[in-house]
Structures are given as structure tokens and as C-alpha cells.
Chains A and B, each alone.
Chain A
Amino acid sequence: MGDTGSSADYQNSALDEFRVNWQRELQVQNEPAREQPNEVDEQQQSPLGLNDIEAQARAESLYRTAVDLEQRGKVYDALAYYRKATQIVPDIEFRFYEQQKLNYDANKKYHNLPNDFGKQLDLNHTDAKEDIDVDLIDGLYDKFQRDVACVDIYGGKMLLNSRDTSVISTSHNMHISDLPPEIMMNILRWVVSSQLDMHSLEQFAAVCKGCYIYGRDEELWRLACSKVWGHNVGTLEGLEDGLSYGSWRDMFIRRERVLFSGCYISKTTYLRMGENSFQDQFYRPLQLVEYYRYIRFLPDGKVLMMTSADEPAQGVNKLKQLYTSRPDVLRGRYRLFGNIVTLILQKSQSRPAFAQRHRRGSIMPGDEEANNTQYVIELRILNNSKRQFGQLAWTKYTLVQRRNKIESSSEFDLTAAKYPPLWFSPVKSYHLDADAPLA
């Protein structure tokens, strides 16, 4: 027993000694590796001199530049960098790959995404994946501003050129990103134009990060709001309707208004007794009469209304011409008050010269006229299943007649059968080239 015990003791002490020695040896080996900041290098057990580490870091940064260049399409420039990197560290490609893999494992969320330049950018900027979505919703604008500020990629510009400038070797090649911001905003004011084409602005904002920053410019949206609501535009706190808005864009989207990119249409149907037939006393024909009412709103406060038997496909075209007046189209102006839109329409003037003179400025055209007829209509703005503000319901319809300075008004009976709600339908051909910038 004692013998075996002492031999066991001896074995233990020998093992301990070996362990101590081994640990010391390991420590010596790891000493230089610990100085390295890089995880990848720490995994390599072989000791590296300080020069090697520097060289590797340099090779890595060269390699990274090369990858950037290649992904931007500058292959020839990239080749030079690749060459330099491999001269310093021949197997840089594998080491870089290993490191990339490590990074990807850390961010599993991005693991299945294609290895795109933009995605790598995303990796560098966001560490914890749980935060990303919340972060993006709250501050795409702020995030993009930070991203675009990255000089290495954007070089002080807002937009990236998709063309390879080294391939097309004409001496002078200008890109839209060369323009100063105030000129970009000027172009966007023309894009939105006096017709308030906010849809195009939204499309522009979705082009890239820089475009998003331009497209969310508060001044553009504020101008658009003040065009729609005029004097009633109020402030973002929205004192009148008790709502508050996060931005002018938010107001433009949420606050009740009419849509401009098309026409509101309603269809009225009624039955009419026909004349008794001469031959057959007992045959009384019934006639089904159908007609449509069209209302088109313009962003500058003008409105066109027409009642016609034409099907919408032809009917909407009659409201296309803004400046030439037709006898069957009533013209006037409208205003928004909360969710009510009030229209004041004038019976068409038969004297075009007169209408011409009053094209600008006059709130109620022809109000000096001794005899005239005005239609005053109030409609409530509603949402329908298809789109916001897509429906208008009648609330009031008054006819005001003035004859020999005596005003008389009569209200129409707004039965649902005769005055069904108007539904919005978009009309592509209403889009014109910009005639004036948003101002």
C-alpha cells in the first residue's frame, strides 16, 4: 500500500512539474500573440514578430481597399491593390475570408444575405441585430446621414455613381452627384412642380441613401402643405383639428385633403317613364337613364366639374384641358376645412376674353357680374377600401342666383339615389410636364 502510495506521489509530482513547465512554455509562445489586436491572429498559434503584425495589418487594409474598388467596378485599380497585398502576405485572400466568416457568424441575421457591398456597410454600422429594426424605423434619415458622411465610400458626395468612370474614358464626365445640394433641391422643386407630384418625390427618395435625405427635405413638404391648405395650413401642432404631426410630410400624408392625380366620379341611374306607344295602349316603355358626375381638383385651388352621359373612359378626357373652357365644364375654386371640401362653381362664361382676364388671382370669377349663377357644394372627405381620401360624400348643395342685385338661394335635396358619393379614380394622362417649380 505504502509503496504504491509513494509511487503515486512521485507520479503526481512529476506530472505537476511537467504541467508547470508546459504552461510556462505556452505562456512564452502566446506572449507576442497577445499584443495583436486582431482575433484572427490570436487564433494562429505560431508567434509573430511585431513587423509581421504590421505587415499583415497593412496587407489587410490594402486588400480591403481592393475589394471596395472592385465592387465599385474599378477592376484595374483594384488589381494593383490586390497585387500589393499578396506581395506582403501571400495567403491574404484566405485570411481575409476566414475573418469575414467570423464576422458573419457573429451576425447570423445577415448570414443568408448576398455578400453585397451595401450589406457589408450595414454590418459595420450596426452591432446588435435586435436594435436594427427599431433603429431604422426611428431614424433612417439620421442613419443615412451618418452613412453618407463616410468619406471612404462617398468621398464627400451624397450619391454614388453607378457607372465605372475608368472604363468610359472621355476626358470629362459629370455625374449628378457633382451638383451642390441647393441645385439638387431646385431640381426637386421642379420634379414636385406646382402640380404637387409627391409620388415622384417619394420614388426619388427610394433611389438611394443620399436621395432619401434630399427627398425628406422639410421645406419641400412644407411648401406642398401650404399649397394644399393655403391659409389654413396651420402648424405641425395642428391647433385647429387637435391633431399633431411629426413632420410636414406626415401632415401631407395624414391630414384630410383631396387627391390630384385623377378624378372623382359618381354614377347616377334613374328610371324614366316613356311615352305611351301609339299602337299599343298598354305598352309603357321604361327608360333607364345613366349619367356621370366628374370632379377634378387642381393643386392651385381650382376645380372642374362636369355632368355627362359619357362613360368614364371618355369623360375624364374632357377635364384634361385646364385653360380652354368648354361649355359643359363648370369651373371654380375649392377650399379645405377639416374633412370638408367646399366648392364654389360658376356657370361657364360665354365670353372667353372675360375668363382670360380673370384667370389669375380672382377668388370668385365674375363677381362683378350683375346676373350670375353659382353652385356651392360641400363634400365630406372619406377613405374607401382602395385608398385614403378616395371618396367624397355630399353634405350640401346650394344654388345661388343673383338677378338684378337680388340674391336667391335654393338647396338641392341630397337623396342618396340622385347624389351618390364620388369615388376617386387615378388618371394617368392628367400628368403634365412641370410648368412651374414648387414655390
Chain B
Amino acid sequence: MAVIKLLTSDNVIIETEMDLIMCSGTIKGMLESCSGDDEIVPLPKVRSAILTKILQWAQFHRYEFADTTAEEEAENVCGVISPWDSDFINVDMSTLVELIEVANFLNIQRLLQLACKTAANMIAGKTSEDMRKILNIKNDLTFSEEAVMRKESK
């Protein structure tokens, strides 16, 4: 089986099987455009820790990728999150944000949707104040602005 070398932002080379990383639209595109074998693919935006985690996810879902169309992909992200996935995605906010960003960069739609959905479930049904705590967002609103907002939402 063909092996591919990936160079991460912290200068770690990770070797992985070719078909495993094909879930990434970005890498798939890169490999199609360049023909050289044994080349090292640089991923300057991805840390090795995150890449390892993503490969772990890809390994688990390995046989589900085969021959799915874009529409089926969209169907797949709906419905209940599987126990394995929910365990996988049970990470701190910083890691979750990083997973979202890297999944977006690598164009792994299913992982991206899984992570976005998880982030959404964390804040849905919460109050503004709770959302600030969960997402670590500073309140930059003045009293008068908050008052106007309350009036707007009535």
C-alpha cells in the first residue's frame, strides 16, 4: 500500500497510508496535481498532535468513505452523533476550534460538520452569559447598547 509523508508545522514527519488521507479533499487535490512519488507534503498550518488525532478519526471511518457521493455525505452528517464520534470530539474548546480550522483547511467535510455541530450543541439553549463563558468571549457591549438590544428582541 502506498505511503505518504506529511510534514507538520512543528516539523514532524508523519507517515500514513495513502487511502487513509484521501478523505482530505485538499491533499487529494495536491497529489493529483503533482506526480512525484515519495514526496513530502508540507502542511504548514497543521500541528502534529492535531494531525494524529485526525488520522485516528480517519482510521475509524476508513471504510465508510468509499464511493459516497456529496449528497450522501450531506445525509451522513445529519442524525445522531455516534458514540465513538462523540467520544472522539469530547475535547476542550481550544482543540475543538483547532479541529474545525484544520478540517476546514484539509477539506474533510464530515469531520468539519461533526465539529461544527458539536460546537453548536454546546451553545444551543444557553443564555448569552453562559455562551460567553463556554466560548471565552469578552463582553464589549455598553449598557446603552445592551438596553437597545433588549428592546429589539421584544
Q: State the A residues within 8 Å of B (CB).
A: 72, 113, 117-119, 121-122, 132-133, 136-137, 140, 143, 147, 159-163, 172-180, 183, 186-188, 190-191, 193, 197, 200, 202-209, 211-212, 431, 433-437
Instruction: Note all chain B residues with C-beta closer than 8 A to A119.
Output: 142-143
Question: Are the CB atoms of B138 and A160 closer together than 8 Å?
Answer: yes
The B interface is mostly helix, strand or loop, or mixed, namely helix
The one of A174, A179, A204, A436 in contact with B123, judged by C-beta atoms closer than 8 angstroms, is A204
Instruction: Note all chain B residues with C-beta closer than 8 A to A173.
Output: 94
Question: Are the CB atoms of A178 and B124 closer together than 8 Å?
Answer: no
Instruction: Note all chain B residues with C-beta closer than 8 A to A72.
Output: 138
Docked Cα-Cα span, A147 to B141, in Å, equals 10
The A interface is mostly helix, strand or loop, or mixed, namely helix
Instruction: Note all chain A residues with C-beta closer than 8 A to B142.
Output: 113, 118-119, 121-122
A and B contact pairs by CB, cutoff 8 A, 13 listed: A159-B137, A175-B97, A178-B97, A183-B100, A187-B116, A187-B119, A190-B119, A208-B140, A208-B141, A209-B140, A433-B124, A434-B124, A437-B116
- The verdict on B152 contacting chain A, using a C-beta distance below 8 Å, is yes
Q: In the complex, how many angstroms separate the beta carbon of A15 from the nearest chain B beta carbon?
A: 55
Q: Which of B81, B101, B113, B136 has the most CB of A within 10 A?
A: B136
The one of B112, B123, B132, B152 in contact with A140, judged by C-beta atoms closer than 8 angstroms, is B152
- The verdict on B148 contacting chain A, using a C-beta distance below 8 Å, is yes
Assuming the contacts A121-B142, A179-B97, A206-B153, asked whether A437 and B117 have C-beta atoms less than 8 A apart, the reply is yes
Instruction: Note all chain A residues with C-beta closer than 8 A to B95.
Output: 174
Q: In the complex, how many angstroms separate the beta carbon of B93 from the nearest chain A beta carbon?
A: 7
Assuming the contacts A140-B149, A161-B138, A211-B137, asked whether A206 and B128 have C-beta atoms less than 8 A apart, the reply is yes
Question: Are the CB atoms of B116 and A186 closer together than 8 Å?
Answer: yes
Instruction: Note all chain B residues with C-beta closer than 8 A to A212.
Output: 149
The one of B120, B135, B138, B148 in contact with A190, judged by C-beta atoms closer than 8 angstroms, is B120
Instruction: Note all chain A residues with C-beta closer than 8 A to B80.
Output: 433, 435
Instruction: Note all chain A residues with C-beta closer than 8 A to B141.
Output: 118, 206, 208-209
